[in-house]
Structure 1
Amino acid sequence: MANLLRPIFEHIQGDKSPLLLESNLVYKTISVLIHGAKLFYECGTRLWKFKGSEQAAAKEVFIGNLRLLEGELGDKKYFAGDAFGFVEIAIVPFGRWFYSYMTCAGFSIEEAAPNLVAWGKRCMERESVTKALCDPHNVYELVSILRKRDGVE
């Protein structure tokens, strides 16, 4: 199991910018997507870290964030149009967590944001993206370990 999780842990090592440290007060390890003053990653974490009303509230906010992203994407192939760009590089890693979010919180991201899911699949067709990101099931394995550690399961 440790070998499966190594890519995740290697990915989160290294220098941390002041903005990351300020924006990600608890973990200080994961890149964050900030919209307004809200942290996208933090909302996703609440989907697997909490149960009941706290999880339901996080799901509502998370789905709202997905719809916001989908609105920005519109009918374009990529956020900047026909070209794979910086926004894709910044956002596509969050898609590797979607399986964990859906499994833990019991909802469908594809129902909430079908165009965004299609965009994610297009991004994953790129060899450079596929090689750089870990498998969603490995992420879920990590989430399961964390949920057990935190007494969520």
Structure 2
Amino acid sequence: MKVLNPSEAVGVTDVKEDVYGNKSPMLLKYNPIHKKVPVLVHGGRSIAESLVIVEYIEDTWKTSQPILPQDPYERAMARFWANYVDDKVMLALWKACWGPETEREKLVEEASEGLKFLEKELGDKLFFGGETIGFVDIAADFIGYWLGIVQEASGVTIMTAEKFPKLQRWSEDFVGNNFIKEVLPPKQKLLAFFKAQFGSGKSN
């Protein structure tokens, strides 16, 4: 949970939350509907859900490198693909890695289908946002960084350079970005967590 100064994005307080434990009073206060992170608190008011938070940041703090395109159609398409990643692809990838082993082949195929659409949408662009990281890239951070760790922890392989060369290249460029590297959690710590939390991919 992020708590910001009312007037500017300085003096940020980062409040950690145990997502698998009891919900803190602060989380229940600021996100009583979903009762989960992330939550951004700015000027005493809370904003929940990742993509909503990103759009709020975009609208509140103007920069020379906007997250969303200025053209209305391109802006709408960015929202479409970001929602597609958030609602469809991430869930399919998670199920493929940790779902029932008896359904593994079907789940991996469904997840791969989702990645195929993203591979085509990315095309020859450096990022989904073009030359710079944009809204869709931020939404797809699970694919860019977390998926490799989840695959290693679960023993399930879905995205490879052979099957998805453009997404794999994008993933490396995304994770290698200096701004992104600063906020990524340590790989080995995440790997140990997933293995301890979910086992070695042998789901019931």
TM-score normalised to the size of structure 2? 0.54
Correspondence for 1:50 among 69, 90, 99: 99
- One-letter code aligned to 2:123: G
User: Given the alignment of the two structures, is residue 83 of structure 1 paired with residue 132 of structure 2, yes or no?
Assistant: yes
What do the CA deviations read for 1:31-61 (whole angstroms, capped 9, x no partner)? 5864299532221221232243322111111
What do the CA deviations read for 1:81-116 (whole angstroms, capped 9, x no partner)? 222212112212432222244332144522221111
Determine which structure has more spread, i.e. the larger CA radius of gyration: 2
TM-fit CA distance, 1:117: 0.9
- One-letter code aligned to 1:65: G
Q: What SS does structure 2 have at the residue aligned with 1:110?
A: coil
TM-fit CA distance, 1:140: 2.5
| Structure 2: gaps spanning 5 or more residues | 1-15, 39-49, 52-81
User: Given the alignment of the two structures, is residue 99 of structure 1 paired with residue 148 of structure 2, yes or no?
Assistant: yes
- One-letter code aligned to 2:89: F
Correspondence for 2:115 among 66, 74, 93: 66
The CA distance in 1 between the partners of 2:185 and 2:87, in whole Å, is 25
Residue in 2 aligned with 1:3? none
Correspondence for 2:174 among 123, 126, 131: 123
Q: Matched residue pairs, number?
A: 139
TM-score normalised to the size of structure 1? 0.69
Residue in 1 aligned with 2:58? none
TM-fit CA distance, 1:134: 1.8
With CA pairs under 8 Å and 6+ residues apart, which has the higher RCO, 1 or 2?
1
User: Given the alignment of the two structures, is residue 138 of structure 1 paired with residue 189 of structure 2, yes or no?
Assistant: yes
The CA distance in 1 between the partners of 2:156 and 2:182, in whole Å, is 28
TM-fit CA distance, 1:28: 4.9
User: Given the alignment of the two structures, is residue 40 of structure 1 paired with residue 89 of structure 2, yes or no?
Assistant: yes
The CA distance in 1 between the partners of 2:194 and 2:126, in whole Å, is 31
| Alpha carbons of structure 1 residues 40 and 11: separation in structure 2 relative to 1, 3 Å | farther
Q: CA RMSD in A?
A: 3.7
Instruction: Say whether the 8 Å CA contact 2:127–2:133 is kept in structure 1.
Output: yes
